[in-house]
A and B are shown apart, each in its own frame.
Chain A
Amino acid sequence: EAQVTQNPRYLITVTGKKLTVTCSQNMNHEYMSWYRQDPGLGLRQIYYSMNVEVTDKGDVPEGYKVSRKEKRNFPLILESPSPNQTSLYFCASRGTGGHGYTFGSGTRLTVV
């Protein structure tokens, strides 16, 4: 089944403790992206990647890092999480045509 898989689904952590949210897609998609969803703000792009070793900032990149060492994986790294990064995070991927993304099921992160 074609899908984007994120882990974990739920995560509670403390301020300053480094964490990684994994994302993997099995559709051989070139483009991958991370979004955060906050009430009343919709989804905002954090980072995106056009292919292996090619990444760029989205609209809200502060406090986040990403890497794209393999085509299928696009982890999101929070080096020093803060409470304002408490949010629902989505990974998404798409191929070269169509412009529509396939989304993962989301990761609900709480930073205390």
Chain B
Amino acid sequence: AQSVTQLGSHVSVSEGALVLLRCNYSSSVPPYLFWYVQYPNQGLQLLLKYTSAATLVKGINGFEAEFKKSETSFHLTKPSAHMSDAAEYFCAVSGGMDSSYKLIFGSGTRLLVRP
């Protein structure tokens, strides 16, 4: 079965600092991996996705993530945090015979950005 682990339910950074949100996955088949962002009182917005093309994936709002098969990781980064980045971030995986129609989510990481 597939699963996703996000390390750290809360991450706090200063404005302008590097953002690093960690995601590790478990999958017996080549996965499709996603990062979604949820702003307060809103739905989920796709930030970026990995679908077996380039291992470094660039997304919206300056975010990017690198797929590392050897580490089963798909960490999300942004070089310089903005106040507007404060939100909850979810890593998700899909793919495989038993889950190709659903996304399996991690428990989420809330990003706090200090002025």
Contact = CB atoms under 8 A, between A and B. Distances in A.
Contacts of B90: 42-43
Contacts of A43: 44, 90, 92, 103, 105
Interface of A: 4, 31, 33, 35, 40-45, 48, 50, 58, 90, 92, 98-106
Interface of B: 4, 9, 32, 34, 36, 42-46, 49, 51, 90, 92, 94-95, 100-108
Given A40-B9, A92-B103, A105-B43, 7 more contacts: A4-B43, A33-B103, A45-B103, A48-B101, A92-B44, A99-B51, A100-B34
A21 to B, nearest CB: 14
Chain A binding surface SS class: strand
A42 B106 contact: yes
Nearest to A102: B46
A92 B4 CA distance: 19
A42 B105 contact: yes
Given A42-B90, A42-B107, A103 B44 contact: yes
A59 B94 CA distance: 14
